[in-house]
């Protein structure tokens, strides 16, 4: 595709429900990152996938958060038993690797937990 | 701990040169990346590298542990959040982002 896409663009859910957010990286990009941006705050690293290596999960805030990626394709971020403090914009970025390391960001998913 | 530091807010007037400073404590990081982020849009890379560089109105200075983004002839439309990031170059390479600097531009 032309760029990184994310779906849905907006998600409103009730507290306690599970949500799944999807990221389609640029075709051929080996690395994929998930970030969270709460209102008025900066980018918060969540998780990083690089090829077939074990992901770097050091940024996941709790065990309610998990992410999967199969090979170098789509990734899903799952938040179980959502809480109001999970409300944020969730951004995905992919990188082609090599010597570039430029991250190409998607437009984000705005999650609102009511 | 791998961290990138930048001011939370910088204010300027139209037409001025704005400087946004960044420094880091990221192990084995030699490259800086500066991103522009308008809320609701995807962050966009402005300039990057391991040496001073320029892309249009955006200049990047470079020191081993710090960098500044200079925006020339700043406009009201430049009001946004600017992120500094460093590439941690140890095995599992990863971009480490700062918390962003909100640029305020007055007419």
**CB < 8 Å to A41, chain B:** 99-100
**CB < 8 Å to B48, chain A:** 102
Residues B14-30 have a mean pLDDT of 93
Residue B101: predicted pLDDT? 96
- With H, G, I as helix, E, B as strand and everything else as coil, classify residue A19: strand
Residue B91: predicted pLDDT? 65
Q: How many CB pairs (< 8 A) connect A and B?
A: 56
**Residue A97: which region, alpha, beta or left (left: phi > 0; alpha: psi -120 to 50)?**
left
Please give the residue of chain A at the shortest CA–CA distance from B33.
A102
Q: Do B42 and A33 touch (CB under 8 A)?
A: no
Q: Do B42 and A4 touch (CB under 8 A)?
A: yes
Count of CB atoms within 10 A of residue A89's CB?
19
Residues in chain B: 107
Task: Map out the domains of chain B as residue ranges.
Answer: 4-106
**CB < 8 Å to A53, chain B:** 92
Residue B29: predicted pLDDT? 85
Of A42, A101, A103, the CB nearest to B99: A42
The DSSP letter of residue B27 is T
Residue A5: predicted pLDDT? 94
CA atoms of B25 and A10, how far apart (whole Å): 35
Query: Tens digits of per-residue pLDDT, B66-93?
Result: 999 999 999 999 999 999 999 887 766 7
Model confidence at B40: pLDDT above 80: no
Task: Map out the domains of chain A as residue ranges.
Answer: 5-99
- With H, G, I as helix, E, B as strand and everything else as coil, classify residue A7: strand
Residue B2: predicted pLDDT? 83
At B94, the pLDDT band (50, 70, 90 cuts) reads confident
Query: Tens digits of per-residue pLDDT, B44-65?
Result: 999 999 999 999 999 999 999 9
The DSSP letter of residue A12 is E
| Domain B4-106 of CATH type 2.60.40.10 | yes
Q: What's A5-99's CATH class?
A: mainly beta
> Residue A109: phi, psi to the nearest 5?
-120, 125
Q: Do A106 and B33 touch (CB under 8 A)?
A: no
The structure tokens listed for A113 are 């937990």
Residue B39: predicted pLDDT? 79
Q: How far is CA B65 from CA A42, A47, A87, B28, B79, in A?
A: 21, 25, 34, 10, 26
Per-residue pLDDT of chain A (114 residues), as tens digits, is: 579 999 999 999 999 999 999 999 998 888 899 999 888 777 888 999 988 888 989 889 999 999 999 877 899 999 999 999 999 999 999 987 665 667 889 999 999 999
Of B41, B45, B98, the CB nearest to A102: B45
């Amino acid at each position: 595709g032309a760029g990184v896409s994310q779906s849905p663009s907006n998600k409103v859910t009730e507290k306690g429900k599970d949500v799944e957010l999807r990221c389609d990286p640029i075709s051929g990009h080996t690395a994929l990152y998930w970030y969270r941006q709460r209102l008025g705050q900066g980018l918060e690293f969540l998780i990083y996938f690089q090829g077939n290596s074990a992901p770097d999960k050091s940024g996941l805030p709790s065990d309610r958060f998990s992410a999967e990626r199969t090979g170098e394709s789509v990734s899903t971020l799952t938040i179980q038993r959502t809480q109001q403090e999970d409300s944020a914009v969730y951004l995905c970025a992919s990188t082609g690797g090599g010597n570039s390391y430029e991250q190409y960001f998607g437009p984000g998913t705005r999650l609102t937990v009511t | 701990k791998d961290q990138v530091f930048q001011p939370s807010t910088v204010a300027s007037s139209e037409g001025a040169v704005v400087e946004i400073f960044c420094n880091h404590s990221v192990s084995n990081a030699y490259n800086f990346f500066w991103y522009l982020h308008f809320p609701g849009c995807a962050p966009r890379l402005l300039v990057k590298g391991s040496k001073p560089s320029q892309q249009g109105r955006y200049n990047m200075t470079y020191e081993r542990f710090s960098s500044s983004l200079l925006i020339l002839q700043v406009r009201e439309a430049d009001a946004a959040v600017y992120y500094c990031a460093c590439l941690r170059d140890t095995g599992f390479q990863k971009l480490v982002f700062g918390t962003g600097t909100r640029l305020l531009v007055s007419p």
